[in-house]
Amino acid sequence: MQCQEFEAVLEQIDGRPLSADAAAHAAQCRSCSAMAADLELIQTLAHELTIPETEPPDRIWTQVRAQLEQEGIIRVPATDARAEKQGAGWFAGIFAWVRRPALVATYAGLIVLAAGLAWEKSIPAPDTASDIAAIPSIHTQDNLNQLEAQTVSDLQASNPEINATLRRDLKIVNNFIAVCQKAVREQPQDETARQYLYGAYQQKSELLAAALAHSRTGE
């Protein structure tokens, strides 16, 4: 199986396990394997954030698309644009024209995460300390850490000075997240600490998105 065929399979997979052929290809191809992992991560994010819709709303995809087009990551040709008007999904266009699928997946992940954080902010404070375990922020932190690892790994080849800056700032945000988490654990009713915690998650998400965007300057 070739990469192009694998991408076509991935488009249609919709949460089902990979076929034997596709799994064999993914095992050999690092790029396709990373793409499959990214998509799985996005699906996990969407579920863990318990957004009422299984799929992000259209406006989220519209934002993802606008961002990707602006960044030059995707270019939808006129023929695809026509097809889209006829009802074809734009996501197919991305896979046809994407230059860096892992980056697309990360962008999508960040935007889904941001949407999830906005939703989380509206959740009232838990009534009891035991409810804390149910706060999705713990999963959010795990997901953000995964995205951080992926982003930092993507940046390894770019400007080392900027990488150092980025790592320093991520450390600052991570430290602040840790402080807020401690405050929330100690005082579950502390609405202020919760708000700062969610704000810090959002800051981290935005910082990662900015890092990705800047890493592409001049390409």
Partner 1 sequence: MRTHKFRFLVNPSARTVFAAVALSAALAVPALAHPVEKHFAVDGRPIVILRNANGRIQLKSWNRPEVMVIGTASSNSVSIDTEQVGSRIEIETHIVNQSARGADLQMDYQVTVPEESQLQIRTDSGSITVASVHGDLTFDTLAADVNLQDVGGTVTVTTADGSVVCTRCDGNSFHAESVSGNVQLLQPIMDQITVHTTAGNILFDGDFLHHGLYYFKSDTGNTEVHFGPASSFDLTASSAHGAVISQARLQPDKHGRNIRIPKTANALFGTVGAGNAKVELYSFSGTIKILNRDQTANVQ
Binding site for partner 1 (CB under 8 A): 159-162, 165-166, 168-169, 172-173, 176, 179-180, 183, 187, 190-193, 196, 199-200, 203, 206-207, 210-211, 213-214, 217-219
Place of tokens 């840790």: 178
The answer for residues whose C-beta is within 8 angstroms of residue 112's C-beta and 6 or more apart is 42, 45, 46, 49, 56, 60
What minimum distance in Å lies between the beta carbon of 195 and partner 1?
A: 9
What minimum distance in Å lies between the beta carbon of 32 and partner 1?
A: 23
What minimum distance in Å lies between the beta carbon of 165 and partner 1?
A: 4
Nearest residue to 199 (alpha-carbon basis) of 94, 117, 136? 117
H helices present in the chain, as ranges: 3-13, 20-28, 30-48, 58-71, 78-85, 90-97, 101-121, 137-154, 160-186, 191-215
Cβ-based nearer residue to partner 1, 17 or 218:
218
What minimum distance in Å lies between the beta carbon of 161 and partner 1?
A: 6
What minimum distance in Å lies between the beta carbon of 218 and partner 1?
A: 4
Cβ-based nearer residue to partner 1, 47 or 185:
185
d(CA 9, CA 21): 10
Cβ-based nearer residue to partner 1, 108 or 193:
193
Cβ-based nearer residue to partner 1, 22 or 68:
68
d(CA 35, CA 101): 6
Cβ-based nearer residue to partner 1, 24 or 164:
164
Largest CA distance in the chain: 57
